[in-house]
Structure 1
Amino acid sequence: MTESMIRKKPGMVSVKEMPVLQDGPPPGGFAPVRYARRIPTKGPSAVAIFLATFGAFSWGMYEVGKGNKIRRYPSSPKF
């Protein structure tokens, strides 16, 4: 397109005399922007994590105790 078709004025016109064409928002405005923090609720709960950690720690301490008994009394049968 030529400038005369866009500005609806014949021939070359000074820039100062041309009407201003400015972009604006679409009719009805822009869609809202999602900016809220949405954290998914997947995964184990805090209670489940605590119980699993407590269970692993308890089992580890049990194994350490078994090892201590074997180290303390090497000639006795294994427990």
Structure 2
Amino acid sequence: MTESLVRNKPGMAIFLTTFGAFAYGMYQVGQGNKVRRALKEEKIAARSAILPMLQAEEDERFVKEWKKCLEEEARIMKDVPGWKVGESVYNSGKWMPPATGELRPEVW
């Protein structure tokens, strides 16, 4: 009976060492996940804090560019009778700012 215990000790040592390494590795993964989650939350908070300022800058840029477009439109259409600068030709009643990019690249 003591012989079977002596024979199983190396196998048990390998099993316990492997289990210990695995458990330690899973602990490290969990700690890394906590750090990654905290960094992600900090990044989201920073972005949401700076968003109003970025939106205000974009709105300012948009207004400047829109004024340039209206001036260009007035210059181009000055000889057309009844033309109202800045009025929509689609008559939808809704004003929608451009989603992205240039306001009207075909004008430039």
TM-score, normalised with respect to structure 1: 0.40
Q: Which has the larger radius of gyration?
A: 1
TM-score, normalised with respect to structure 2: 0.30
More helix by share: 2
With CA pairs under 8 Å and 6+ residues apart, which has the higher RCO, 1 or 2? 2
